[in-house]
Structure 1
Amino acid sequence: MKKLYGVIGLGRFGGSICKELSKEGGEVLALDLDEDKVNEYKEIASDAVIADSTDELALKELGFRNLDHVIVAIGDNIHASILTTLLLREIGVKRITVKAQNDYHEKILQKIGADEIVHPERDMGKRIAHSIISSNVLDYLELSDEYSVVEIKAGEKMQGKTLLELDIRAKYGCNVVAIKRGKEINVSPMADEQIMYEDILIIIGADKDISRFEKALVIED
């Protein structure tokens, strides 16, 4: 059975989510106040409508209460984002993800019942910064204010050494939770696992510890 999604706000962030969910086979109800944006997604989403998401009656008539997951991707209008989230919760939407503009916005969203809050600009900024520092950093995912998961391509400093020899946990406070080699992935690798050139290490740890690890073993001299 197909999952039913709603995307409110068809800017760059909301539009990208709409495209990906549709591409993966989800049924997507897309909503925006801007007629041009709605027209742009008429051939992409299952349905694209012009409506005001702060109008409770409109949300009910469009069937938002029947959706499995609604993403609120409203741009700069924090008031509209908060009110929309509140109305979606009140009409019984199962799961709500909301784009936050700042920490103040996030605190309010937490209080009114958003299931997941994302900061796409901030998170993307971190990813880009890490990829600029080292081309070996492939991805960077923030878990909390202090902890992250990072995908790192093994370079010359790690090549041919075992996890025991690198002693990453003791020296840097990080944990290697998996190693990807081609199409294979080794979850919870053993201490005697030897690192090959261009293996991809998935590492979890505190941001400060990941930073020390990157400076010592990832950034090439």
Structure 2
Amino acid sequence: MSKDYAVIGLGRFGGSICRELSREGKQVLAIDIDEAKVNEFKNIASHAVILDSTDEESLKEIGIHNFEHVIVAIGDSLQASILTTVILTDLHVERITVKAQNDYHEKILRKLGVDRVIHPERDMGRRIAQNIISNNILDFLDLSDDHSIVEVKTGKKMIGKSLIDLDIRANFGCNVMAIKSGETIDVSPSPEYVFKPDDILLVIGSDDDIHRFEKHLIIDEQ
């Protein structure tokens, strides 16, 4: 199941990641020990299973080692989070992201060699899900319930093309507020500006418009 994702723990944080990955059209396996939570995601995720993630045999049975990226979002048990992570590491899961409950938890996870440790109080579930999909999406800030500012790297489809060529405002309803190229920051860039690799854009718009813009021009699959 290459390039598929598994989310273990379907609380507020894990649930938001699961929803966002699913909204992006990704194959997601939702896992929780709580039947009610699993039932909630049966029609959202590609698959949803009731499972104790501290049971190594159960994880082996569902082929967890075949998933490219596993997100451990267990929030109510430090022991379960750590044990689950140990098992995933032993099973040589390619990429592991874990929600840390505190700094002590993070230190343990770092020693286990986890690829990425997330503090939910610092990072929104949507921002993390977007970053899991693509390294080009650097940051995300909610302005309101339906408008945001996103900081992104130039997508491959944009390189060598100008703002006029792409007509981002007309095609996607977003506005490019600024472009950082190297050490130079261009506020309200000229329509003739030609995008270069590693340019960083600051884009504002409605969440739906930004999503379309990212999907068509920014997201480069890892």
TM tier, smaller: 0.5 to 0.7
User: 1:85 corresponds to which letter in structure 2?
Assistant: T
* Contact preservation (8 Å) 2:32, 2:50: yes
Q: Which residue of 1 aligns with 2:52?
A: 52
TM-score between both structures, scaled by the size of structure 2 = 0.60
**CA–CA distance in structure 1, aligned partners of residues 97 and 38 of structure 2:** 20
1:187 equivalent to 2:187? Answer no
Relative to 1, partners in 2 of residues 1:187 and 1:88: Cα closer, same or farther, differing over 3 Å?
A: same
The residue type paired with residue 11 of structure 2 is: G
Contact 2:53 2:84 in 1 (8 A): yes
1:183 is displaced (CA, Å) by 4.0
| 1:73 maps onto 2:99 in alignment | no
Aligned residue in 2 for 1:116: 116
Look up the SS of the partner of 2:37 in the other structure: helix
Written as runs of structure 1 = structure 2, the 5 A alignment for 1:79-158 is 79-123=79-123, 139=141
- 1:92 is displaced (CA, Å) by 1.4
Return the TM-score normalized by structure 1: 0.60
Q: Distance in 1 between matches of 2:71 and 2:185?
A: 44
Mark the structure with the bigger radius of gyration. Answer: 1
RMSD: 3.0
Query: 4+ residue stretches of structure 1 with deviation over 6 A?
Result: none
Looking at structure 2, the residues matched to 36 and 48 of structure 1 have their Cα atoms a distance apart, in angstroms, of 11
Please list every run of 5 or more consecutive structure 1 residues that lacks an aligned counterpart in the other structure: 125-137, 141-149, 152-180, 203-221
User: How far 1:113 sits from its partner (Å)?
Assistant: 1.7
Q: Greater relative contact order: 1 or 2 (C-alpha under 8 angstroms, separation 6 or more)?
A: 2
> What secondary structure does 1:85 align onto?
helix
Q: 1:15 to 1:191 in 2, by over 3 A?
A: closer
